[in-house]
Structure 1
Amino acid sequence: MKISSDTEQINQFLAEHRIEEVFNEELRTHMTIQRFNQGAFICSQGDSAQTMFILVKGKVKVYTSSAEGKTLILSFKTPLELIGDIEYVRESNYINTVEAISTVEVISIDYRWLKKLSKNYTPFLQFLLKVITEKFYIKSNSMSFNLMYPVEVRLASYLLSISYDDTNSLLNDNLNTINLKDAANLIGTSYRHVNRVIQQFCKDGLVERKNGSILIKNRDGLSILASNNIYE
Structure 2
Amino acid sequence: MERIHDSILFQKILRENPIDEVLTDYQNYPLELVLYKKGEHIFKYGEPLTYICFFISGRAKVYSLLSNGKHYLHTFYHQFEIIGDAEFVNQLKITTNVQALSDVYCLLLPLKPCHKMLYNDRKFLRAACCHLAKKLDTTGQFNSHNLLYPLEERLASYIINTSENLVFDENLTALSELLGTSYRHLLRTLKNFCDKEYLKKENGVYKIIAPKKLEALGADIYMSYY
**TM-score normalised by the chain length of structure 2:** 0.87
Q: Distance in 1 between matches of 2:117 and 2:170?
A: 47
- The residue aligned with 2:112 is 112
Q: Distance in 1 between matches of 2:184 and 2:142?
A: 22
> For the Cα contact (< 8 Å) 2:199–2:209, is it kept in 1?
yes
Change (3 A) 1:26 1:214: closer
Deviates more, 1:12-21 or 1:122-131: 12-21
Q: Distance in 2 between matches of 1:105 and 1:177?
A: 22
Return the offset for 1:29: 3.9
Change (3 A) 1:6 1:124: farther
Q: Distance in 1 between matches of 2:105 and 2:115?
A: 23
Return the offset for 1:220: 1.0
Change (3 A) 1:29 1:229: same
CA deviations on 1:43-93 (whole Å, 9 max, x unpaired) are 221111111111001111222235665333332211211221111112121
Letter of the structure 1 residue corresponding to residue 135 of structure 2: K
- The residue aligned with 2:84 is 84
Change (3 A) 1:21 1:146: closer
> For the Cα contact (< 8 Å) 2:70–2:177, is it kept in 1?
no
- The residue aligned with 1:13 is 13
Change (3 A) 1:229 1:11: farther
**TM-score normalised by the chain length of structure 1:** 0.85
Quote the sequence identity (%).
Answer: 27
CA deviations on 1:126-179 (whole Å, 9 max, x unpaired) are 111111111222221111222332221111111111124xxxxxx312x2241x
Q: Distance in 1 between matches of 2:26 and 2:196?
A: 56
- The residue aligned with 2:184 is 192
- The residue aligned with 1:168 is none
Correspondence list, 1:1-232, <5 A: 1-4=1-4, 9-25=9-25, 28-66=28-66, 69-164=69-164, 171-173=165-167, 175-178=168-171, 180-232=172-224
In the alignment, structure 1 segments of 5+ residues that lack a partner are 165-170
Return the offset for 1:13: 2.0
Residue 38 of structure 1 aligns to a residue whose secondary structure is coil
> For the Cα contact (< 8 Å) 1:161–1:231, is it kept in 2?
no
Q: Distance in 2 between matches of 1:22 and 1:231?
A: 21
Q: Distance in 2 between matches of 1:197 and 1:26?
A: 48
Q: Distance in 2 between matches of 1:138 and 1:91?
A: 22
> For the Cα contact (< 8 Å) 1:27–1:113, is it kept in 2?
no
Q: Distance in 1 between matches of 2:26 and 2:75?
A: 33
Aligned residues between the structures: 224
Deviates more, 1:139-148 or 1:66-75: 66-75
> For the Cα contact (< 8 Å) 1:5–1:31, is it kept in 2?
no
Q: Distance in 2 between matches of 1:62 and 1:111?
A: 22
CA RMSD of aligned residues (A): 2.3
> For the Cα contact (< 8 Å) 1:61–1:76, is it kept in 2?
yes
- The residue aligned with 1:167 is none
